[in-house]
Amino acid sequence: MQTYVRVRPEKLGKINDMIYGHFTEHLGRCIYDGIFNEKSSKSDSRGFRRDIIDAVKKIKCPILRWPGGNFASAYHWQDGIGPVEKRPQLLNYIWGGLESNRFGTDEFIQYCCELGTEPYLAVSLGTGTLDEAVAWLEYCNLDTPTRYAGMRRENGHAEPYGVKYWGIGNEVYGPWQVGHCSATEYAEKLRQYTQFMKGVDRSIKVIAVGADNPDWDMTVLKHAGHLIDYISIHEYHGSDDYFGTVASVYYCEQRLKLLENLIKHLRLDHVKISFDEWNVWYKISAEREGTEKGTVLIEEPYALKDGLFAAGIFAVMHRMNDTVQMANLAQMVNALGMIKTKGDEIVLTPIYHAFDLFVNHTGRTRLAMDIDTQRYDIKARTFVEGRNSFQLKGVPYIDGSATYDERRNVLSVALINYYQKETDIRLDLSGLEAKKKADRYVLTGSAPDEMNDFDNPDRIHLVNDELAVGTREMNLRLAPMSASVIEFTLEKTL
């Protein structure tokens, strides 16, 4: 059966840039020896790795979450401000090793300014207090003759930072978390933190901890949903099995829709979903045994199948554009990183190239798209607390999205071929008039586990070619295990 794809010129809303966000945490080599390394010849005078900055700028990171993650639950922001030589060196008892505090709030804000990205701060609900959270907000956002705003000025930063996005805690539903508590306890803390922080700065947006658990999420939303702006969900997946990895995209879609339906049931239309931790994670455990100096590294190797998983997640978020308004890949560098470093070298993984494909070659207006393709059923492993596997029926072999870029008057058709063979499709653009040539960008490789490494850093990368467009219906051949975006310049604006 040939796959049939039809794109219709029906606009279905805006896709938020923030779904292409990222996350950094004081975990392993993500910060130190990752984005920040004063000893590297590739770093500037501030210690920021310029090669990493250049790579991240290429994929236009819209929002960056920090300082965690689990690390945030035991972080005290005042340890990371002021003269570097006076900052305390502490145990990082969350992830092991030592925390020098050389990279703190001011460095993070400078880093975000360098990238042109929105900062997203996560406050501690473990060892932290409400007073501490409000003080951090004052330090970052206020221009008042008060103690913490004065501290910022004394540290050489006269103008407020204007941090808009604030997460209240991290994964406090889990016993692995400092500050673990019940949904009822968290909901009341969330209400108080949000009420008083928004009382100090009404411009901020608050992200609540969601647990991917309807009972927990219902309790939190009922108690504090009227105050918050987002509720989070975290998903980590992956398997040695190719189809187990790519099919987990649709498990994520099920969980996102479950949360979306809960929000709609409670009529909290102003609350959006923040998918603020997602990635492939299954090979490398978080145990400290065997890691140097007792520090957890979690440097997961990423292959072609993981890049296709990322592409599939983007297609899902395009479909859910009304509700999923923010997402953060966990994480940016080394620790579960889409970018790897070794000394002064870097490697861009297939997940990075999936970002490049979708950020730079799809539009931000979603168009209607119908895909008639074969499907399969699967039982696969999942990395979700309390769930060891999932079963899915009707998983598509071909997926994708259609988007429109008003600025360039370009229709982008994204097509993900999960088949491990070349696949022919019939693409129908009836109702859309495209010019005679189109640009195609393809992410593919020779095997599901093929990856880039320091000996072969460009084994997998985007390949560009040109297509002749003859009629409004055309036959296309998709490479096996591939994600493609075809850019059609239209004769008329939509």
Burial class (CB in 10 A: 0-12, 13-18, 19+), 180: middle
Burial class (CB in 10 A: 0-12, 13-18, 19+), 171: buried
Question: 298 with 286: CB under 8 angstroms?
Answer: yes
Signed CA dihedral, 50, 54, 55, 56: sign only: positive
Helix/strand/coil for 415 = strand
Q: Tell me, rounded to whole angstroms, the distance of Cα 40 from its chain centroid.
A: 27
DSSP 8-state class, residue 73: G
Cα(400)–Cα(411) distance, integer angstroms: 13
Q: Is 473 marked active-site?
A: no
Q: Catalogue the E-assigned strands of 238-349.
A: 272-280, 324-330, 339-342, 345-348
What pairs with residue 32 in β-bridges? 36
Q: In sequence order, what DSSP letters do the residues of 349-406 get, joined into one string?
A: -HHHHHHHHHHHHS-SEEEEEEEE--EEEEEEEEEETTEEEEEEEEEESEEEEEEEET
CA angle 301, 318, 447 (to 5 degrees): 30
Q: Is 277 marked active-site?
A: yes
DSSP 8-state class, residue 315: H
- Phi, psi values for residue 418, rounded to 5°: -85, -10
Identified catalytic residue from 253, 277, 299, 487:
277
Cα(205)–Cα(135) distance, integer angstroms: 17
- Phi, psi values for residue 29, rounded to 5°: -105, 30
Signed CA dihedral, 31, 37, 41, 45: sign only: positive
Identified catalytic residue from 107, 171, 235, 299:
171
Q: How many CB atoms lie within 10 A of CB 290?
A: 8
From the list 262, 264, 277, 167, the residue with the least C-alpha distance to 215 is 262
Question: 212 with 384: CB under 8 angstroms?
Answer: yes
From the list 470, 396, 473, the residue with the least C-alpha distance to 427 is 473
Active site residues: 171, 277
